[in-house]
Amino acid sequence: MKPVTSDSVLFITLDSCRHDSFAAAAVPAMRAVAPLHCAQSPSHFTYGAHAAMFVGFTPGVPGLDQPVLNPKAGRLFRLRGGGGPGRHEAAFVLDGETIIDGFRQAGYRTIGAGAVGWFDPATPPGRRLTEHFDDYIFTGPVDLADQCAFVTAKLDMVTGNAFAFLNLGETHVPYWHRGAPWDWQDNPCVPFQTVDRAATCRTRQIACLEYADRLLAPLIDRFMDATIVICGDHGDAWGEDGLWEHGFSHWTTLTVPLLARVRGVPIQ
């Protein structure tokens, strides 16, 4: 497998992934990237979170005066003209409508794979999120193997820098992966439900994370000398304060895992 350049970037969003799920999961490939941080998402649903992240506002740890881990201190990706510069220099400063556009203008090959419906380019919102990728696939929510195969094949053709993005759907409701021993149609996290299925939600999301880690391991290893960011885009409520799923502001929907390394250096 051809290595990527040290300036290349791998950006993985674990859709709907709670921080406590990630902390409890056996995910050695993702944990090898960097220490796990408990961060706050810029939004409580997929489109809002990615729209913010795609202009440089990745999840952050409020009050921490450390770039990358807190975009207010210094962003991993900063668009010129897109918000203030922060207290510290950004790792990547880009020109463009989004960071994907910015990387493409900087000569990167931009490769994307989306899972949840907001990333469907057949819809106007999906086109807005995906229009700047040179190569893109929308797989639906439970096809991480196809996503990894697509991204890997495209990377094999890149001779310079690459920006690769994957949005994982397995960690989104109904928390299912290929080969899982429970029914895909059994969703344990339904808005306004009155039955407490929090334990089932937790068990299944953790299992989906562990499944994803196995598939992502070769791709992560390929970028270990480059830049990697792995995060939840938002979380889910599992009965806290009587709330279920996401799409509203609450600590459960805003608290997400964050791991990052920049040009081979783990962010502590």
Alpha helices per DSSP H over 55-172: 99-105, 124-130, 144-155
- Report yes or no: 90 and 77 within 8 Å, Cβ to Cβ: yes
Residues of the chain under the 50 pLDDT cut: none
Alpha helices per DSSP H over 157-268: 198-222, 251-254
Global pTM reads 0.97
Query: What does the pLDDT read at residue 231?
Result: 98
DSSP-based three-state secondary structure for 203: helix
CA nearest to 45, candidates 265, 258, 252, 200: 252
CA nearest to 16, candidates 254, 259, 258: 254
What is the CB-side half-sphere exposure of residue 1 using CA atoms within 13 A?
15
Q: Structural domains in the chain?
A: 9-266 (3.40.720.10)
Query: What does the pLDDT read at residue 89?
Result: 87
Which H helix or E strand runs over 51? helix 46-53
Query: What does the pLDDT read at residue 88?
Result: 87
Which H helix or E strand runs over 115? none
Query: What does the pLDDT read at residue 40?
Result: 98
Give backbone dihedrals phi and psi of 110, rounded to 5 degrees, phi first. -100, 120
Query: What does the pLDDT read at residue 142?
Result: 86
CA distance 97 to 38: 29
Query: What does the pLDDT read at residue 235?
Result: 98
Tokens 């009965």 locate to: 239
Query: What does the pLDDT read at residue 263?
Result: 98
Query: What does the pLDDT read at residue 173?
Result: 98
